[in-house]
Structure 1
Amino acid sequence: MQKILIPTDFSENAWNAINYAMQLFRNRKCTFYLLNTYTPVIPSSRFMAKMIDGVSIVDAVRNSSEQGLKKTVDRIKTKYGNSNHSFETISSFSLLVDEVKDIVETFDINLVITGTKGASGIDEVFMGSNTVRIIKSTKKCPVLAIPQHFDFITPSEIAFATDFNRFYTISELNPLLELAKMFQATIRIVHVQYGIKALSELQQFNLNMLRRYLSDTEHYVHTVSELNSVSQTLELFSEELDIHLLALLNYQHSYMEKMTREPIVKRTAFHTQIPLLVIPELGMSGVSKNHVEQQVISS
């Protein structure tokens, strides 16, 4: 994880995500790409001002974006002064989700870190709409969502939620394994079931392969009965076992998909109280042919 993208709107929510990133990778050489997007309203009426003190609205917003990024980098360097870290700033007249997707591909980004803030009341949403859109559109690297008021805790306890219905490749598990190795963390594999029952033959095979991948990492398997919803169940599990980071693989019919589609009433208890690492579905695209053959032979 050497190239990390952090979108920011200069809010305290975004600053909290930056703080988390600086501390999480404090001992790693990284390049952080700080992104701010802006989409100023272009006046179409002669009654609306097109200039502010002789400067076009577009130029004024661009200048504000660029200055905001510069101040953010200065603030980071003043607080942390970490020689392992370098910074690039990107100010873009674009939509946030589109720009994130383009930057991930252009700069071969390894991880996106974003602050998240859920709405409240009747507008309750899971994690915040921008975060969900980024997760759904980012297909080539993981997204780490940091809750608004979460203070950094070294992630020594990591939960990985899975239903064992899918075979995971090592390329998909690498972000999880990398974090566990960085902090000598324990990985707790959590399987949420609607009514406890024995694993199918396919599920057992996938579990065995998963445990083989995790053979050099301390790990445990937990099977829990679903409560009101998957999200609420995982939240309660995380609280009871003092989990510092929750990881999910995002694919069709995955827990991540279920959580973003759960009815509003069912997910009101879930506000992403801990950082959430969402890993995209890579399948065999990130695995060499030789590696696949070795997996088959060894199994």
Structure 2
Amino acid sequence: MQKILIPTDFSENAWNAIDYAMQLFRNKKCTFYLLNTYTPVIPSSRFMAKMIDGVRIVDAVRNSSEEGLQKTVDRIKSKFRNTKHSFETFSSFNLLVEEVKDLVDQHKIDLVITGTKGASGIDEVFMGSNTVRIIKSIKKCPVLAIPQHFDFITPTEIAFATDFNRFYTASELNPLLELANMFQATIRIVHVQYGIKALSELQQFNLNMLRRYLNGTEHYVHTVSELHSVSQTLEMFSEELDIHLLALLNYQHSYMEKMTREPIVKRTAFHTQIPLLVIPELGMDGTSNKPEEKEKEKAVSR
């Protein structure tokens, strides 16, 4: 995780995500890419103003974006004074999600960190529409969503939610292991069941392989009964065990997909009270995980 992209709209919500990132990676040499996107209204009528004090609207908005990014970098350097961190800024006339995807590809970004809305955004989606769009669109690196009012806590307790129905590749587990190793954290594998029952043969195999990957990292397996919804169950689990970060893999039929599809009334209890690390579905080489790649990895692991 040496190249980290942080979108910002210059709000305190976005600053909180930046603040968290600076503290999370305080002992690691890395480059932060700060992104601000803007989409000014282009006048299409002779009755609409094209200029503001002699400056074209598009130019004025771009200048404001570039100045905002420079002020953000200055604020970071003034507060943290970390010589291990370097910064690049990007001001783009583009839609946020499209620009994030482009920068991830162009600069081989290792991690995207974004702020999330609080409870006020619950009528849209449970983490804010932009955050969910980024999570659904980014397929090549993890996304770390930081709650609006979350104060940094060193993540020594990390939960990894899984149903064991899927084989995990090393590239998918690397972000989780890297964070755990950085902070000597305990990983708590949490399996949410609708009615407690024994694991199937496939689930047991996937659990055994997961534990092999985690060999050398302190970890425990927790099986919990579903309470009303997956999101509420994970919320309660995180509170009871004082979890500092929740990790999920995002694939078809995963917990992450279920939570984004839950009716709003079911997920009101879960608006990312703690940081959420969402890992995309990857193959052995870090690319989109195709069936044939999965079979190859199974054969190698046996």
Deviations 1:91-110 (A, max 9, x none): 00000000000000000000
Q: In structure 2, how many angstroms separate the alpha carbons of the residues matched to 1:48 and 1:176?
A: 51
2:11 alignment partner in structure 1: 11
Q: Structure 2 stretches of 5 or more lacking a match?
A: none
1:192 aligns with 2:192: yes
Q: CA deviation at 1:124?
A: 4.9
1:241–1:192: structure 2 CA closer, same or farther, 3 Å change rule?
same
Q: Is the 8 A contact 2:121 2:128 kept in 1?
A: no
Alignment of 1:25-174 (within 5 A): 25-118=25-118, 120=120, 123-174=123-174
Scaled by the length of structure 2, the TM-score of the pair is: 0.95
- The equivalent residue for 2:204 is 204
Q: Once superposed, what is the RMSD of the aligned Cα atoms?
A: 1.8
Maintained 8 Å contact 1:8/1:14 = yes
Amino acid at match of 2:144: L
Letter in 2 for 1:296: A
**Within 5 Å, which residues of 2 pair with 1:260-271?**
260-271=260-271
Identity, % of aligned pairs?
87
Q: CA deviation at 1:123?
A: 1.7
Which runs of 4 or more aligned residues in structure 1 lie more than 6 Å from their structure 2 counterparts after TM superposition?
Answer: 291-295
Equivalent pairs, count: 298
- Name the CA distance, whole Å, in 2 between partners of 1:35 and 1:293: 38
Alignment partner of 2:239: what SS? Answer: helix
Aligned-pair CA distance for 1:297: 5.6
Amino acid at match of 1:82: N
Shift of 1:257: 0.1
**Partner amino acid for 2:2?**
Q
Counterparts of 1:101 and 1:297 in 2: how far apart (Å)? 32
TM-score normalised over the length of structure 1: 0.96
Indicate the residue corresponding to 1:229 in structure 2.
229
Q: Any unmatched runs of 5+ in structure 1?
A: none
User: Is residue 282 of structure 2 the alignment partner of residue 296 of structure 1?
Assistant: no
Provide the rounded CA distance (Å) in 1 between the counterparts of 2:236 and 2:179: 23
Change over 3 Å in CA distance of 1:218–1:81 after alignment to 2: same
How far the C-alpha of 1:219 sits from its partner, in A, is 0.1
Separation of aligned partners in 2, 1:297 and 1:120: 48
User: Any idea what SS the aligned residue of 2:284 has?
Assistant: helix
Distance 2:133 2:300 in 1: 39
Letter of the structure 2 residue corresponding to residue 10 of structure 1: F
Shift of 1:120: 3.3
Q: Which residue identity lines up with residue 131 of structure 2 in the other structure? A: T
Question: Residue 168 of structure 1 aligns to a residue in which SS?
Answer: coil
Tell me which residue corresponds to 2:280. Answer: 280
Cα offsets for 1:85-144 (capped at 9, x unmatched): 000000000000000000000000000000000453872521001000000000000000
Shift of 1:48: 1.4
Q: Is the 8 A contact 1:118 1:125 kept in 2?
A: no
Letter in 1 for 2:162: T
Deviations 1:122-167 (A, max 9, x none): 7252100100000000000000000000000000000000000000
Specify the SS of the correspondent of 2:45. coil
Report the AA paired with residue 169 of structure 2. Answer: T
Structure 1 residue 286 displacement after superposition: 2.8
Residue 243 of structure 2 aligns to a residue whose secondary structure is coil
Contact 2:125–2:132, Cα closer than 8 Å, also in 1? no
Structure 1 match to 2:249? 249
The SS at the match of 1:90 is strand
Over 3 Å counting, the alpha-carbon distance change for 1:45 and 1:298 in structure 2 is closer
Distance 2:121 2:78 in 1: 38
Post-superposition shift, 1:284?
A: 3.4
* Gap change, CA 1:47 and 1:298, over 3 Å in 2: closer
**Aligned 8 A contact 2:126 2:270 in 1:** yes
Residue deviations 1:241-264 (CA, integer Å, cap 9, x gap): 000000000000000000000011
The aligned amino acid for 2:20 is Y
* SS at 2:102 equivalent: helix
